[in-house]
Amino acid sequence: MSSMKDMTLHNAQQLGAAIRLKRREKSLTQSELAKLLGAERKWVLNLESGNSKAEIGLILRAIEVLGLRAFLTDKAQPERGPHDLKAPRLDQVFERLQRDPRK
């Protein structure tokens, strides 16, 4: 059972801490996670340290590899949590954006 709770992330440091927590929970070293991502250990170290310039594609891959989910919500809308079944999955948001003919 995961000790990780749902959380709202406000900055790169919080994202890095969440990634570190889940990596440790899965008993992975930084080197092992890096290998799964096709990245270098230094990249994982930087991500976990809150590097705000980390490549988004690798961040999304790390989220997937660690079995996490990411949700985006509109601040102008009433707050919805990850347990709200109406909340779109991040991959669905990206698919919708790719299909949208407006640019």
- For residue 86, give Cα distances in angstroms to 74, 80, 89, 92: 13, 9, 9, 12
Does this model's pTM top 0.85? My answer is no
Please tell me the distance from the alpha carbon of residue 16 to that of residue 7, in angstroms, as a whole number. 13
Task: Express each pLDDT in 43-90 by its tens digit.
Answer: 999 999 998 888 889 999 999 999 998 887 777 777 655 555 455 666
Would you give the end-to-end CA distance of the chain in angstroms? 43
DSSP SS3 for 39: coil
- To the question of domain 9-68 being in CATH 3.40.309.10, the answer is no
DSSP SS3 for 32: helix
Q: Would you place residue 8 in the very low, low, confident or very high pLDDT band (cuts 50, 70, 90)?
A: confident
- Which region, left, alpha or beta, applies to residue 4 given φ > 0 means left and ψ of -120 to 50 means alpha? beta
- Domain ranges within the chain, ordered by starting residue: 9-68, 69-103
